[in-house]
Chain A
Amino acid sequence: MKRLLLGILICLTLHSSFAQNLDKIGKKDMIRVNGGLNFNSIFYNANGIGARREPFTWYANGNLTVNVLDVSLPFNYSYSNNQGKFTQPFNMTNCTPTYKWIKGYAGFNSMTFSNYTLAGHIFLGGGLELTPKKWKIAAMYGRLKKAVPYDIISESDNEMSYKRMGYGAKVGYDGDIFSAHVIYFTAKDDIKSIPFAPPVTQITPQANTVISGLGKIKLAKSWTIEGEYALSGLNKNLLASDELNTETKNKLPFIFNEKGNTQFFSAYKGSLNYTHKIFNVGFNYEHVDPDYKTLGAYFFNNDLENYTLSTAWRLLKNKINVSTNTGLQKNNLDKSKLSTTKRWVGSVNVTYSPNTKWNLSGSYSNFSTYTNVRPISDPYYIKTAADTLNFYQLTQNANASVNYNFGKHKAKQGIMLTANYQTTGDKTGNVTNIPSNLINGNVGYSFAWTPTKTTAALSFNYNQSDIQKIKNIYFGPNLSLSQNVAKNKVRLTLGGGYNQVINNGVANSKVINSRFSLAYNPKLKNEKLGKPTLSLNCAYINKLATAQQVTTFNELTATLNLGYTF
């Protein structure tokens, strides 16, 4: 009955809103069409190395929006010949008609309810989104995965998949002070959708139901608290033997009836944010149960507990911006793992622009991981190498750049200095591996002559990597020129670099890389007809060996883009 009432209500609203626009019928703006088309083709040729791309690939995508009265009907499509051996569809079309606060989805679409439920998974089907005033209602039904049979010829289950159908809904209220939403999502694989599945495979037909609640409250002006709790029930294998059906306590009674191999897990997170004129602070907590999974989301890490604290400061009238981020992550939440891994991530980012001429920035980030192997009190256990498996990894990255801009409006000049240092090292037990280092340095000068719209940039780079006792250095100059021609309708850019490569003290090769690009934006006499664009980009690498053990190769990648918007 409630559903019927709602239906009538919506129909009435639709009717009355339409009534005001009926006058447009017959007028010239009753139907308006606009959109854009894009065609992208990539040509590839390589000599001396195995091909890293197909010789010719193309992508076509675009959209077409038809507006009838107040209803807008956008159609989108994307196609490619680059599907290769992949079997889930890349080629897709969709339509998302919109009328005031009503939005529909048809075709290949994705919708996001929340991170732990339906999280942007592509589906083929239909959906609806209603946003009357502050209410938000969303619902979907569709195919999440296409059935792909077992590849008998190559005996591969890599691409095998069962047909997976799912549906779900999200209902909520988004007020100024608080908002609350509830989510229901369920999906199930069709056992009969593929004729044969190998007995030993990790791809099993599954069924899943997940419910979730989300809330957000604004306290005073500057505090925000958010939270989500999701409970997921998953039957890992619908083919599992009935005899194994032990009575697990159903945490989702009435809505999830899958018996057998069912597991229940939860995921939750909360965040607290404080905004002030000159700084923001955010604290986040996240907990994802071991094995947490929902069929509405692509794979995300589970078995983790995460605390993050981020701050952002704006000092001296926004001249200095400082942001920091630190996070602590821990796994092995149910103590079922042999080892516990703790990860600490920290980063600091500072930018300082005292005036429009100077711009200084620096950043540092640190990723450290410590895996602690649990002491084992097993009678059968004999001390082995495994005892010294405690693992420690440290990755650090530091970055600094200085920009100085000068010159009048007509001739703008700039000097730029950047340096980057990254090091990764690990230690297993008592064995410390020599850390691998990477150093990049770059000095550049740029010049722009505004009257003729010419820009030129010259730079010099030095790169050094020390990886597993191999020291690799390359350095050289780079030049790029760009010029607008034909009344700014065509922009030409030419760039190139020449690098000498030195490996463990021996000059072993020279690398020439060059780029060319052309962008053409003609203006049609009647601008109402639309706007075509054309661009061509070429990248060419040539590695010339000067030592015997190095291979000489060249590689050309050319991209042609054609676009038309109307």
Chain B
Amino acid sequence: MKKIVYIIIVLFFSPIIWKGSGAVVIAQTYPVQITTQLTPPFGGYLSDYATPGNENLKVLIYLTDFSNPVYDVKLKVKVEGQGITLQSKPFYYSNAFSLMPGQPLQLSGSDLAGLLNSNNLDFSGISKSQYELRKVLPEGFYKICFNAYDNNNPVQIKVSNESCAMGWMVLNDPPFLNTPVCNSTVTITNPQNMMFSWTPMNMASPNSAANTEYEFSLYEVRPEGQNPNNIIQTLPPVFTTTVNTPFFNYGITETPLIAGMQYVWRVKSMDISGRDLFKNNGYSQVCTFSWGTKYEGMGNLNIYLTATPLTHRSAKMLWDSIPVFSSYHLEYRKAGGNWNWMPVNTPNARTKVFDLEPETDYEVRVNGTTNDGYTGQWSNLATFKTPATPIINCEDVAPPPSMQNFQPLKNATVGMLWNIGQFEMLITSLQNTQSSNGQYTGQGRVLLPFGGLGIAGSFTNITVNNNQIVVQGNVEAITKGVDKWMQQHNDDNEYVYDDSYIFNGCIDSVFVNANNQVVIRDCSGQTHIIPNDTNGGLLITDNNGNQWVVNSDGTVTPVTGGMILPGSNQPLTQEEMDILKLAMSLLRAENTSNSVNNLKNTRDQKQQELQSVIDAQRQQANVTNVQPPTNADDGFIGFIEEPNAISNTALQKNIALKEADENYFVSAIARLFSQEAVTDAQLNFIGNYLYVGQLTYKAYVQQQKQANKTNQQIAADVKTQGIIELIKRVVKKRMIHE
């Protein structure tokens, strides 16, 4: 026991001797003397000691009996500590080693492989399978002892002293980094001053607890975005120092930190005495942080944004101009739900957007970017709601636009939506894209608030202001009405296309942009560029059956109402023509301007009724809240039932409004259809794209003729079941979408 105390004293108080060699020699009178040496660092992986070439564990065997020229011995091993004993199995001995007197034999590395193989060891205090899981001894103080036996004697005869070497076998974890927190952005302080701190993980090791030093290294991540682990393997640090505290105060005279730069740092734990092993050579996991942002401390970079709607399709946004930003990136989207952001980039601190949906809540935000690519924080989220679509009345005259504060639209592109009177026009082609006085010539499609319906028209030198409102000039299609529109379709009398594209969704409009790409604007206002080209024409069909033909010259022809299959372009017979003419005149007679106006008035009345019901409901709700009922039961029932009754009324009123809406829209469009005298060519066009019930117009006429119906009768049916149905279908589709 005294010896062990002595050993431990040596172990703890003479690190210098200990470092040199872990030898402990205990002399006895045996013919064979063994000396075991354990060189630091002391690893708990027994198999490491048996790796070829490894000399951490050395066994020196010396034959002192000079009477024997050659003497063969075999060895046994015993590893003890932490309540664990691993020793050679009773019948296992190492290979024989031949000794010659006076010549020491040194065994190490692979010589010890057999002895340290776990198959040849008996385990106590730990099961073999437990050990084999990691093949490492639990941490702690161990001694490794060797004994030599006479090789030639089958009986176990010990011929040497028991020689042991000892050590604390520890595999420490490298330090854990604390502050600055990994992946954080550190707020810049001027001048720089920050504390790097970490937690040592080897504080329980008697070898190194009091002897640990830390090597702190800081690296710049250059170029931006490099893998930080690769940085530390390939570049020198910009600052490195060795400290004996688990923190380091990076101060004013240390290498200047660059604003906006990403840094990576790590700490290496080192045992000054060299006895402890650390995972990863003592290097911690790396940690990165950013030294603020480049523009921190350059004043207030917050942007305050305001947004207000201009029309049902447009809004303007204003925000603070910040000197350091050279451009701004604004994004807007429909509020609520996961709509995609629509981007606008501008160098100015204001912008306008023109492709909004009516009666919709929008949210907007903006951030700034400097010349060298730094992007600031998002501004506040501004919200606004677009007003409802103005009601179209064909009799209405566009209000005279104000020429006060006129700011011309200086740049125009295909795909813009301009307001003309109460209508909107989608620009499909332009002769000039720039104009200092806002005058443009080109073609567009005037949109009616119903899917797919639109009137193509051309304009010459109309004046547009920077809110994209046409303030002067006329669009031909509108003044000449359906006649011009029909004629336009009949110039070429048939759709020419050799390619078809089916769009999975609902299409609002189709146009061809300046790069000759076909652009689809879907019902949610988003645009899609489709891969197909316009060479030879392209037919586009959406999920609702609406169709468009993109002609070779880049113009787009909407196929009214959809469902119509191009290709059956046979001229109508005289009789079919006559019947259609009759149907049109019936339509015209039915939808006079008075009747349209009446329907509009009915609709407005219904809307007012609904509004008053809603107001009443609100008031009722307030009343119930203000005056709690005296009789609890009655009040309870009343409270539940009253709002229900009201909301049922509201629902009915709402249905009534929708019906009135539909009647009015159908009538207005029917009037538009039949307003002017129609040419044969136009009738041909309509006749070819009209269905009556399930039959094409031609087939229907043929069938009715066989049934001996008069032209008058057939025309009436064509009007109601064909034309009106077509308009209704489109209107309904639109109303459901709304």
A associates with B: yes
- Residues on A close to B: CB < 8 A? 20-21, 23, 29, 38, 40, 52-54, 59, 61, 78, 80, 82-86, 88-90, 110, 120-122, 198-200, 202, 204, 236-237, 239-244, 246-248, 261, 263, 290-291, 298-303, 318, 331, 334-339, 341, 343, 345, 347, 356, 359, 365, 367, 369, 371, 373, 376-378, 380-382, 384-386, 389, 391, 393, 395, 397, 399, 401, 403, 405, 409, 412-414, 418, 420, 422, 424, 426, 428, 436, 438, 440, 442, 444, 446-448, 450, 453-457, 459, 461, 463, 465, 467-468, 472, 474, 478, 480, 482, 484, 488, 491, 493, 497, 499, 501, 511, 513, 519, 521, 533, 535, 537, 539, 541, 543, 553, 555, 557, 559, 563
Assess whether A442 is in contact with B380, with CB atoms less than 8 Å apart: no
Min CB distance B154 to A, Å, is 23
Name the residue on B nearest A291 (C-beta): B134
In the assembled complex, the Cα of A560 lies from the Cα of B531 at a distance in Å of 44
Whether the Cβ atoms of A90 and B297 lie closer than 8 Å is no
List of B residues within 8 angstroms of A391 by Cβ: 200, 203-204, 209
Please tell me if B639 contacts chain A, counting CB pairs below 8 Å. no
- Nearest B residue (CB) for A161: B233
Smallest beta-carbon distance A155→chain B, Å: 15
Chain B residues within an 8 Å CB radius of A418:
187, 189
Q: Are A300 and B285 in contact (CB under 8 A)?
A: yes
Partner of A90, one of B234, B304, B322: B234
Which among B5, B132, B283, B286 has the highest number of chain A CB atoms within 10 Å? Answer: B132
Q: Are A373 and B204 in contact (CB under 8 A)?
A: yes
State whether B81 touches A412 (Cβ < 8 A). Answer: no
Bound state CA distance, A243 and B110, in angstroms? 8
Q: Mark B165-176, 1 if CB is under 8 A from A, else 0.
A: 000001001101
Interchain CB contact under 8 A, B81 and A378: yes
Contact (Cβ within 8 A) B209 A428: yes
A241 touches B298 (CB 8 A): no
Is B230 engaged at the interface, CB distance under 8 Å to the other chain?
A: yes
CA–CA, A463 and B297, complex, Å:
18
Known: A199-B53, A461-B189, A467-B245. A78 touches B226 (CB 8 A): yes
Closest to B108 in A: A199
A-B contact pairs, 23 of them (CB 8 A): A52-B239, A82-B236, A88-B233, A121-B229, A199-B55, A301-B174, A301-B285, A338-B204, A373-B204, A389-B209, A397-B195, A409-B321, A414-B300, A422-B179, A422-B195, A426-B246, A438-B249, A455-B324, A465-B193, A497-B190, A501-B252, A541-B256, A559-B258
- Across the interface, which residues of B come within 8 angstroms of A23, CB to CB? 533, 535
The segment out of B139-147, B389-397, B411-419, B661-669 that lies at the interface is B139-147
- Cβ–Cβ contact B136 & A365, under 8 A: no
Nearest residue (CB) in B for A78 is B223
For residue A243, give the distance in angstroms from its CB to the closest CB of chain B.
4
CB of B191 within 8 A of chain A?
yes
Beyond the given A450-B321, A482-B298, could you list 8 further A-B residue pairs with CB under 8 A, ordered by the A residue number?
A: A53-B238, A121-B229, A237-B48, A365-B181, A384-B12, A465-B251, A472-B251, A497-B190
How far apart are the CA atoms of A80 and B236 in the complex, in Å?
12
Chain B, residues 278-307, CB within 8 Å of chain A (1/0): the string is 011101011000000000011110101000
B567 contacts chain A at the CB level, 8 A cutoff: no
Question: Pick the contact of A381 from B117, B141, B178 — CB < 8 Å?
Answer: B141
Bound-state CA distance A134–B178 (Å) is 39
Report the number of A-B residue pairs with Cβ-Cβ less than 8 Å. 323
Contact A298 B286 (CB under 8 A): yes
**Interface code B410-446, partner A: CB below 8 Å = 1, 0 otherwise?**
0000000000000000000000000000000000000
A438's contact among B195, B233, B372, by CB below 8 Å, is which?
B195
Chain B residue contacts of A338, Cβ below 8 A: 138-140, 170, 204-205
Least CB distance, B719 to chain A, in whole angstroms: 44
User: Shortest Cβ distance from A311 into chain B, in angstroms?
Assistant: 17
Residues of A within 8 Å of B226, CB to CB, are: 78
Chain B 305-325 interface mask (CB, 8 Å, partner A; 1/0): 000000000000000111110
Judging by beta carbons under 8 Å apart, are A497 and B191 in contact? yes
B227 interface residue (CB < 8 Å to A):
yes
Is B50 at the interface (CB under 8 A from chain A)?
Answer: yes
B: interface residue count bin: 35 or more
Of A122, A302, A377, which one neighbours B227 at CB under 8 angstroms? A122
Q: Contact between A378 and B141 (Cβ–Cβ < 8 Å)?
A: yes
Residues in A whose Cβ lies below 8 Å from that of B51: 199, 204, 237, 239-241
A246 and B118 form a contact (CB under 8 A)? yes
0/1 interface trace, chain B 256-272, chain A, CB 8 Å (1 if under): 10100000000000000
Please tell me if the beta carbons of A377 and B234 are within 8 angstroms of each other in the complex: no
B47 to chain A, nearest CB (A): 5
Q: Is B135 an interface residue (CB 8 A)?
A: yes
Check A244 against B203 for contact (C-beta < 8 Å). Answer: no
Expressed in whole angstroms, the Cα–Cα distance for A110 and B226 within the complex equals 10
Interface centre among A246, A456, A484 (most CB of B within 10 A): A246
**Once the chains bind, are A393 and B246 in contact (CB under 8 Å)?**
yes
B190 and A378 contacting across the interface, CB-CB below 8 Å: no
Q: What residues on A are CB-neighbors of B179 within 8 Å? A: 365, 367, 395, 397, 422
A424 and B371 contact, CB distance less than 8 A: no
B201 within 8 A of A: yes
The 4 closest A-B pairs by CB, nearest first: A199-B53, A339-B204, A90-B234, A391-B203
- B223–A38 CB distance below 8 A: yes
Q: Which of A82, A121, A488 makes the CB contact (< 8 A) with B235?
A: A82
Instruction: Tell yes or no: B545 within 8 A of A by CB.
Output: no
Which residue of A has the minimal Cβ distance to B252? A511
Q: Which listed residue (B141, B199, B320) contacts A369, Cβ 8 A?
A: B199
Across-interface contacts of A369 in B (CB, < 8 A)? 176, 199
Would you call A86 and B203 a contact (CB within 8 A)?
no
Measured between alpha carbons, how far is A301 from B177 in the docked complex, in Å? 11
Q: How far is the CA of A241 from the CA of B189 in the complex (A)?
A: 57
Q: A88 contacts which chain B residues (CB < 8 A)? A: 230, 233-234
- What are the interface flags for B46-88 relative to A under an 8 Å C-beta threshold, 1 for contact and 0 otherwise? 0110111111100000000000000000000000111100000
The one of B81, B249, B281 in contact with A202, judged by C-beta atoms closer than 8 angstroms, is B281
Report the minimum CB–CB distance from A381 to chain B (whole Å): 7
B-side contacts of A200, CB under 8 Å: 53-56
